Amino acid sequence: MALADLVQSHAFRTLLFGIAGVLSLFAGERAAQAAGGWSRELTSKANFWLIVSVVLFVLGTAKLLGLQHLLGGNARELVREEGFYDVRHAYQRLANYAVIAVGLLAFAVGTWIWVRRWTVLALPLGVVVVLVSFVAIRAISLHDVDTLLYRTDVWGVQASAAVEVLLTASTALVAFVSTLCTRSS
């Protein structure tokens, strides 16, 4: 199996979400050990990684179950039945802008909660926010975005798959490095 086929494989991308989730969980466990135990404070480094692992497990489960396509198909049918199919583009574009705004807000709030205390968390926070925003924008399925993501190849790999793998693998790598760099007490 060629690398391009592997990257485009649904099973591989689902597995990658699971691996990134497990590595994030390990990073949280390691941070909790270094701090002398799990903290109930949201601002703890361990809780940051726990939240990241939950987000990755939810994204992986959604991918495994095909929820993006199921919800997209159901929404498309509802829009057709209600007679809004021809004017959906404006709403999809507005939804994309809303996702970007919510992503920026999530990054700002995450920075206020975690990064001001743990600057090393800026990178994983940014990558996870971009990953979730990317998945949401892909699910909204605006034709122009779909054309870019599904008809553009990057080194023989569909752009959508390449971006998803890059972001998920980056999260896994940062979690792994965090696990290695965190000293336990």
CB 96 within 8 A of CB 140: yes
Q: For residues 121 and 109, what is the distance between their CA atoms, to the nearest angstrom? A: 13
Query: What integer pLDDT is reported at residue 53 of this predicted model?
Result: 97
Q: Which residue has the tokens 């649904």?
A: 10
pLDDT digits (tens, 9 = 90+) for 127-161: 999 999 999 998 888 778 888 888 888 888 888 99
Question: Which position has the higher pLDDT, 174 or 147?
Answer: 174
Q: For residues 61 and 106, what is the distance between their CA atoms, to the nearest angstrom? A: 22
Q: What is the mean pLDDT of residues 83-96?
A: 84
Q: For residues 173 and 179, what is the distance between their CA atoms, to the nearest angstrom? A: 10
The fraction of the chain above a pLDDT of 70, given in percent, is: 98
Query: What integer pLDDT is reported at residue 1 of this predicted model?
Result: 61
CA-based end-to-end distance of the chain: 44
Query: What integer pLDDT is reported at residue 97 of this predicted model?
Result: 95
Domain boundaries, the chain: 3-181
Q: For residues 102 and 99, what is the distance between their CA atoms, to the nearest angstrom? A: 5
Query: What integer pLDDT is reported at residue 12 of this predicted model?
Result: 93
Q: For residues 129 and 52, what is the distance between their CA atoms, to the nearest angstrom? A: 10
Q: For residues 92 and 50, what is the distance between their CA atoms, to the nearest angstrom? A: 32
Instruction: Judge whether residue 184 has pLDDT over 60.
Output: no
Instruction: Judge whether residue 17 has pLDDT over 90.
Output: yes
The encoded tokens of residue 107 equal 């990054």
Q: For residues 39 and 51, what is the distance between their CA atoms, to the nearest angstrom? A: 13
pLDDT digits (tens, 9 = 90+) for 58-67: 999 999 998 8
In this structure, what are the phi and psi dihedrals at residue 141, rounded to the nearest 5 degrees?
65, 45
